[in-house]
Structure 1
Amino acid sequence: MINNKRIVLGVSGGIAAYKACALTSKLTQQGADVKVVMTDNAQKFVSPLTFQALSRNPVYTDTFDEKDPAKIAHIDLADWADITLLAPATANIIGKVANGIADDMLSTILLATQSQVYIAPAMNVHMYAHPAVKANMKQLTSWGYHFIEPGAGYLACGYVGKGRLEEPESIITAIEEHQKQNGRLTGKKVLISAGPTKEKVDPVRFFTNRSTGKMGFALAEAASSMGAEVTLVTGPVNLSLSDDRVQRIDVVTAEEMHEAMHARFEAQDVVIKAAAVADYRPKQVYEEKMKKHDGTWQVEMERTKDILQSLAERKTDQFLVGFAAETKDPVDYGIKKLQQKDLDAIVINNVAADGAGFGGDTNIVTYVNRAHEKKNISKASKQQIARRILELILQDMKDEKK
């Protein structure tokens, strides 16, 4: 997975910069074309000449050192990379990228590149645990950056704890494993629904629910990163996609989502209905704002179309996955939904549980397939949950073909 890859290795200013020398050597030995970019502080630990000798490529240190007048160096290098690897990554460079700061060659490249970015932090144990550093890493993760966690042990500052740059062999293994996962959905078409729907009462009122669309968006971006051609049908949410390869279809009502999902269903390989669609809508919609008056106001509701059930009835070779957001006996109700709608799998969560459900950045789910095999996915970011769900779907699709 490394052979013939074009890798930009960013080295920032920490004592662990010496390990980047061995990393450069090992990447080159495995057939990668490595170009090293160093910060000013990194050069105080290791000479650029060392990396030049190990990579057999020029080393980049200055944004304004334009060797070729026909090219802008930092943009050319950012476009050249298949993979950008930041190792060691100090708290400073992580903070710069998370906040859009581009004030040297390395930070400028990191903002300009469209390649996959891997970050291997290295810093004091207390710095690594600082809320600002954690918030910056969380932000970068949500944008699709991939972190290679540091190891625990004796640090240069004398402390013992987490913060030591992972060993070069482990960094390469982590990248290779991630690269293997990335292409697993290549050639597949995936349709995902996300968010709530809004059902109009009058020009100023509507019924909706607490869904924010975060889980569905995480699934769409994870599927795209794994090589799939992804279409996302979303209700009204305040989210944007960081992956412009995902085709986004915006809808408002349950009826509009029904039409959008059915119009695209036939061509899909995998369909995941993560949206929280309204089960009921007002039977009468008022053209003028309803004025308040004495006494009660009763709104008669009627059922909306069951999107998941109707898709299941049309299913041919698609792998169809539903979501079940429950508050009582979630697994029991989820399995009942799996059976009643004849799904291939269902993702169940207790939306009342701490760290799960609507609005938050984490989730806790149980994945159950057609054979009623249960896989519990413990509390993690919705991005991590999304990738795990897709891995389980792929495994089940593989098993079906045996």
Structure 2
Amino acid sequence: MDYSHELFGSTTKLSTKSRRLSGRRIALCLTGSVASIEAPKLARELRRHGAEVTCYMTQASVDYGISPYVMEWATKRPVISKLTGIVEHLMSYDLVVVYPATLNTINKIAQGLADNAVTTLCASTDPTRLLIAPAMSLRLYKNAILKASVEKLAKMGATFVEPRLSEGTTKVATVDTTVDHVIRCLSISRLKGRGILILTGPTRYDLDPIRHISNKSTGKPGYWLAKEAFYKGCKVKVIYGPCSVSFPSYIPSVNAYTTEDMLAATLKELEKEKYEVAIFSAAVLDFKPTTYSMEKVKSGSSWRIELEPTVKIVEEVSCRYPDLKIVGFKLEYKVLKEELIKRTQEELMKIRAFLMVANDLSEIEGEWYPACLINQRRDIKGFKGTKMELAREIFNEIGGEMIHCSM
């Protein structure tokens, strides 16, 4: 069927979210699960990131109510449900995604069985190019044979996307989560496998049981930094203060409240795991109250609050871990660009930073996040874009600096 023309309706023209999967060929394999109803959404989302998607279906997936015509519409390519003389199972793909994957299919793949279009394709594919998203009842998911199959495939290099536990069953991972794992699997980055620790969000101190002081911070810069680190294939962990964003379940994270809490969590993490880079994007309070009222201070009365300096987390870490590559953030308010750069360069020298990101709060608006990036050679690079785009730029700079340091 010719799909070169535009079909009627706005649903035929997909909006582009990124080009992260541009030129990538992905096989999306459906098996006999009710969760297959999510597959059309996944196919279209992968295409929004530039992928070319071909759908493979078992007869069981069709029996569960997913029409091949729906997947043909979602992928804009013919669906493969039977193997013919064209030897569809020998087609080359950058990644084979089994979504959803039943217990039956996972066990067959682990044993090398090839009795339908999906299992035959998987049998002819290197396990490192398999991404499997299980979906089944909780009792089946705890099956010992399934566990052995998952462990066997994982040791061979296959990637598993953990299901969601909800309503007594293991539901297939969300479309967004699966897309993130696809991007991670297909990324080509010199940072793959490197340990990245990210501090983000504000810290907070209570004044009484009702009130507190804190810095303005949504935690979004750290959220996008964590996602970018995940995309690059890094081993990432986040330490975050009270903020409005929630981090994906597949990115390990630790909550901190006060500045001391964040420092303690950071030092504990650095002692426990090996990290090459630490990104200090947190809006840490520089001052804390000297006293705390056990009772709510009555409104209408005057209240004098005395503040004292807090510990400088980045300075403490820099002193204890001189080999750690530090990415620091410097935030000022309504200063000349020359002064912003000067202060940032001074901070770079003080904490022996690997890279500094300088911002003026008066220029930040919503997702718009202009910045200056300054490396250890004091090269200055201006940036204008969103927080998501800045995160990508920061990791590009980190990768470039690591190459420079190794030369």
| Correspondence for 2:220 | 214
Residues 312 and 57 from structure 1, CA distance in 2 versus in 1: closer, same or farther, beyond 3 angstroms? same
Q: Does 2:325 match 1:319?
A: yes
Contact 2:131 2:182 in 1 (8 A): no
- Return the offset for 1:324: 1.0
Aligned with 1:180: secondary structure? coil
1:363 and 1:113 map into 2 onto residues whose CA distance is 24
Q: What pairs with 1:135-214 in structure 2 (closer than 5 Å)?
A: 179-181=187-189, 184-214=190-220
1:112 and 1:345 map into 2 onto residues whose CA distance is 34
Query: Match for 2:281: what amino acid?
Result: A
- Return the offset for 1:5: 8.5
2:236 and 2:279 map into 1 onto residues whose CA distance is 11
| Correspondence for 1:352 | 362
2:131 and 2:405 map into 1 onto residues whose CA distance is 34
- The TM-score, its normalising length taken from structure 1, stands at 0.60
Contact 1:35 1:57 in 2 (8 A): no
Contact 2:226 2:236 in 1 (8 A): yes
Q: What pairs with 1:21-170 in structure 2 (closer than 5 Å)?
A: 35-36=55-56, 40=69, 43=72, 48=79, 56-57=88-89, 70-71=104-105, 82=130, 111=174, 115=178, 117=179
Residues 12 and 5 from structure 1, CA distance in 2 versus in 1: closer, same or farther, beyond 3 angstroms? closer
Aligned with 1:399: secondary structure? helix
Which residues of structure 1 form unaligned runs of 5+? 14-18, 28-33, 60-65, 85-107, 118-142, 147-174
Q: Does 2:261 match 1:261?
A: no
- Return the offset for 1:253: 0.6
| Correspondence for 1:291 | 298
Residues 367 and 145 from structure 1, CA distance in 2 versus in 1: closer, same or farther, beyond 3 angstroms? farther
Q: Does 2:16 match 1:8?
A: no
Q: What pairs with 1:314-393 in structure 2 (closer than 5 Å)?
A: 314-327=320-333, 328-329=335-336, 330-355=340-365, 360-380=366-386, 382-393=387-398
Contact 1:219 1:387 in 2 (8 A): yes
1:214 and 1:113 map into 2 onto residues whose CA distance is 17
Contact 2:229 2:395 in 1 (8 A): yes
Residues 326 and 8 from structure 1, CA distance in 2 versus in 1: closer, same or farther, beyond 3 angstroms? same
- Return the offset for 1:144: 7.7
Contact 2:217 2:283 in 1 (8 A): yes
2:390 and 2:358 map into 1 onto residues whose CA distance is 12
- Return the offset for 1:307: 0.7
- Return the offset for 1:50: 11
1:247 and 1:58 map into 2 onto residues whose CA distance is 37
| Correspondence for 2:233 | 227
- Return the offset for 1:221: 2.0
Which residues of structure 2 form unaligned runs of 5+? 1-20, 31-38, 42-46, 58-66, 92-99, 111-117, 123-128, 133-170
Residues 113 and 6 from structure 1, CA distance in 2 versus in 1: closer, same or farther, beyond 3 angstroms? farther
Residues 352 and 83 from structure 1, CA distance in 2 versus in 1: closer, same or farther, beyond 3 angstroms? farther
Residues 371 and 12 from structure 1, CA distance in 2 versus in 1: closer, same or farther, beyond 3 angstroms? same
Contact 1:231 1:247 in 2 (8 A): yes
Contact 2:359 2:372 in 1 (8 A): yes
Post-superposition Cα deviations, 1:149-191, rounded to whole Å, max 9, x if no partner, equal xxxxxxxxxxxxxxxxxxxxxxxxxx99x6213xx32332111
1:69 and 1:240 map into 2 onto residues whose CA distance is 31
Contact 1:221 1:243 in 2 (8 A): no
- Return the offset for 1:292: 3.2
Contact 2:187 2:233 in 1 (8 A): no
- The TM-score, its normalising length taken from structure 2, stands at 0.59
- Return the offset for 1:255: 1.0
Residues 374 and 71 from structure 1, CA distance in 2 versus in 1: closer, same or farther, beyond 3 angstroms? same
Residues 242 and 49 from structure 1, CA distance in 2 versus in 1: closer, same or farther, beyond 3 angstroms? closer
Contact 2:56 2:81 in 1 (8 A): no
| Correspondence for 2:404 | 399
1:57 and 1:231 map into 2 onto residues whose CA distance is 38
Post-superposition Cα deviations, 1:89-133, rounded to whole Å, max 9, x if no partner, equal xxxxxxxxxxxxxxxxxxx99946965x3xxxxxxxxxxxxxxxx
- Return the offset for 1:225: 2.2
Query: Match for 1:343: what amino acid?
Result: A
Aligned with 1:379: secondary structure? coil
- Return the offset for 1:279: 0.3
Residues 214 and 400 from structure 1, CA distance in 2 versus in 1: closer, same or farther, beyond 3 angstroms? same
Residues 5 and 299 from structure 1, CA distance in 2 versus in 1: closer, same or farther, beyond 3 angstroms? same
| Correspondence for 1:281 | 288
Percent identity of the aligned residues? 23
Post-superposition Cα deviations, 1:210-246, rounded to whole Å, max 9, x if no partner, equal 10111112111211221221121100123222251x2
Residues 206 and 49 from structure 1, CA distance in 2 versus in 1: closer, same or farther, beyond 3 angstroms? closer
1:367 and 1:210 map into 2 onto residues whose CA distance is 22
1:393 and 1:47 map into 2 onto residues whose CA distance is 42
Residues 332 and 51 from structure 1, CA distance in 2 versus in 1: closer, same or farther, beyond 3 angstroms? farther
1:375 and 1:340 map into 2 onto residues whose CA distance is 20
Given the alignment, which residue of 239, 248, 271 partners 2:278?
Answer: 271
| Correspondence for 1:172 | none
Aligned with 2:369: secondary structure? strand
Contact 2:277 2:324 in 1 (8 A): yes
Post-superposition Cα deviations, 1:329-369, rounded to whole Å, max 9, x if no partner, equal 332322222123222211111221154xxxx3342221111
- Return the offset for 1:12: 7.7
